[in-house]
Chain A
Amino acid sequence: MEIEKNEGVFSGLTILAFCWAVVGPLTMKFFADHGATVIRVETSKRPCVMRVSSPYKGNVPNLNRGGYFNFYNSNILSLTLNMELPEARAIAKRLALKCDVFMENYTPGNMEKWGLSYEELRKERPDIIMLRQSGYGSWGPYAKLPAFGMVLVPIAGLPNYIGWPGREPLPVGVSAYTDCISPRFAAAALIAALDYRNKTGKGQLLDLSQFETALYFILPGILDYAANGREPTRIGNSSPYAAPHGVYPCRGDDRWCTIAVFNDDEWKTLCREMGKPEYAEAPRFNTLLNRKKNEDELDRLISEWTAERTPEEVMEQLQAAGVAAGVVKNTADIYEDPQLRQRGMFWKMDHPEMGPFTHLGQSFILSETPAKPLRPSPLLGEHTEYVCTKLLGMSDEEFVDLFQKGVFE
């Protein structure tokens, strides 16, 4: 099997990656989508949690038919190695030393156990770049604790900002929300490290903690406590300095829209569009402070208007008039969203087991070197032979011998 040479910014760059769950592939995606050869190590002995997560094609559990896994792993190669065997560990080490970058987001301790610590690898390759990206950092009192995005969300304090006043805090509805935070920080740092090595010849160890990077998403709240001793309170959908500001019911099953008004002009426009110009100057609504004071009544009156319209109608009418408003989009809406489609957020590719299947595409647009769908997500071990014989130069004999020993399970 031949893999065509990738085009792209990272063409020629090779990365060996021990990825787990979402954080690994999302981080590697930035490189694989721009031409890097990313070799993901997996094993059938303990498949990635994503491969054994629903939904499945045809609703039948199958390691190669998981929608969750296949959504996030396009352009990545899969090499299976049973790391319990010394031969497999030797192959992993040979590859780590040969590749430009060694990335991992396993629970700390695993790489050390397999002889793949930064210290070990650096002895043989002083300029190696290793990226570690575990839940709580590769060292420290929580290092050995397995991390789940679902648990990191509350530990990083996010639910303090989700909920109605006086009621319980709620999780972010998109589970494992923090999983998309550290990949961006990690990718930026890793590219800086590659550039640094190109200029100085020096490699390095990069250690990121999913917990620590998630705190950057509530940073103003942390500073508010540090400076003022104030803890956050839950405020539902309101804003301290805007009214109306919220989510309003619309016509249809579980249909909603948002409306946010930040100044008097927008308020007057909204009243006109609702056919209630008299609200604009009504004493209970004529200033921001009065609207805040009478917010419950304000929201009720707006709800009466929105309830007779679809969210699309509200969005189109108000946006045309210059008021910020939007559809609260469910997954079907996102899937069809004309803006996201035009921007290439989805890549439909033929997958050998899934058939035509939508993979996650790019998250931003580069004018000269756009991200490209090169190949669908890999079958488990799909590229094992290619990596061993072509990249490592193993003879067919050696490969078959190792295969029979179960090294590639």
Chain B
Amino acid sequence: MLSHCRALDLTDEKGFLCGKILADLGADVIKVERPGGDHSRNIGNFWHDIPDPEKSLYWFAYNSNKRGITLNIETADGREIFKKLAKTADFVIESFAPGYMDKLGIGYSTISDLNRGIIWASITPFGQEGPYRDYKDSDIVVMGMSGTMYQTGERDEAPLHISMPQACLHAGADAAVGSMIAYYHREKTGKGQRVDVSLQHSAAWFQANAIPTYELSGGILRRAGAFRVGMSKDVGQRQVWPCKDGYVFFNVIGGKQGAKLLRALTEWMDSEGMATDYLRNKDWDNFDMFTIGREEMASIQEPIGEFFKTHTAKELWNGAVPRQISLGPLSSMQDLLEDECLKARNFWKEIEHPELGTTITYPRQFVQSSEEDCSTRFRAPLIGEHNEEVYSSIGLTREELVILKQAGVI
């Protein structure tokens, strides 16, 4: 859909996902790295555990469908080349510290003078302005400042980090949306603009009902470990349940949905002789999660827990699906690659890595469009892989490229 668009992607891991989304929607996204390759190529894990900038699986994951060039924008030649490229581009996506590109003389204001339609997305830990603007970051610090971490973990222990970095993904995806809104505006008016994205802000944006709960009652949602927060006071509502070979996530809930679900689960348990009289006789229609007592909850949760322990996660899922019971097995990576639904929807795709002599499994697409193919088409670029084709397209000669290479510009 965006095949007529070009994006220059100067981001490190803080902003990879933005360019990835635009690339999957068809844009020509050119990853611009410093000579020798971006430092984010050192993020593990690595293909076959060989630590090598051409084998970072993290790099692979979020840079497929992008081309790649090397350019040292701290040199005078590099800056001139960047300006030439920016004239051909619709989007610039960058994740440098606030003010860095301005200092080099190739910031938004300079480039927008050369190309008034340019859309410039800046992805930084805290944003371009504000009291935290110059703070140092890492995912654990930003996630801590976004509210999610405080609510994650065991009640009486330290808050827990999600060890797969998340803030950069919220921000990268937000940058893609912001860039697309700016693009829609530009197509109407010819005028580009700046998109200011903050990792902290994007990660803090969704916190379920925490903010209104605080505003309306002063209540602060705390960590609840394997249980669910809120609802009835002092009654643990289990969310993580051990099963025969792993874990399943399941909530005892009230309301119409809850009644349907608990009735179906009771019938299923009964068919295997594991429903207690209490469960069989329970009036689920008038079951209220807000007034439930400890004893009542135990009478419900204990037999359910016993039932889950007699089944594998797979058996529980297979039994839950036809009964429309909302129960989530904790998927391993293997489970995901073998998942029946993902397979049926043709979600996985083998992508060639010729220099590794193999293929690797990637998600095919985040959206199925009836009009355009939004698939992952090719692997992430090697260091400087498209230097020649990109630079020759803006008029650099082979002789110039040889000079620029030796001078450390490309």
Contact = CB atoms under 8 A, between A and B. Distances in A.
Nearest to B246: A169
Contacts of A193: 1, 369, 371
Q: 6 smallest A-B Cβ distances: which pairs?
A: A173-B151, A67-B212, A225-B333, A180-B206, A151-B328, A173-B152
B210 A364 contact: no
Contacts of A357: 212, 215
Interface string A60-96: 0000000110110000000000000000000000000
Given A234-B163, A254-B222, A174 B255 contact: no
Nearest to A311: B144
Contact of B201 (A148, A216, A323, A340): A340
Interface stretch (B43-51, B385-393, B398-406): B43-51
Interface string B234-261: 0000011010000111110001010000
B326 A148 contact: yes
Interface in B358-404: 360-363, 366-372, 374
Given A55-B213, A326-B144, A150 B360 contact: no
Contacts of B163: 161-162, 232, 234-239
A194 B151 CA distance: 38
A5 B62 CA distance: 40
Contact of A174 (B141, B148, B341, B366): B148
Contact of A247 (B161, B198, B327): B161
Interface string B208-234: 111111111101111111101110000
Contacts of A360: 205, 211
Interface in B76-130: 126-130
Given A136-B341, A225-B334, A225-B337, A258 B195 contact: no
Residue from the set A118, A220, A240, A357 with the largest chain B CB neighbour count within 10 Å: A220
B174 interface: yes
Interface residues of A, number: 153
A157 B211 contact: no
Interface in A172-192: 172-177, 179-181, 184-189, 191-192
A173 B196 CA distance: 27
Interface string A312-339: 0000000100111111111111110111
A345 interface: yes
Interface stretch (B180-188, B276-284, B302-310): B180-188
Interface stretch (B29-37, B65-73, B164-172, B291-299): B164-172
B150 A328 contact: yes
A298 to B, nearest CB: 15
A174 B333 CA distance: 23
A215 B371 CA distance: 24
Interface string A115-151: 0001000000000000000001101111011111011
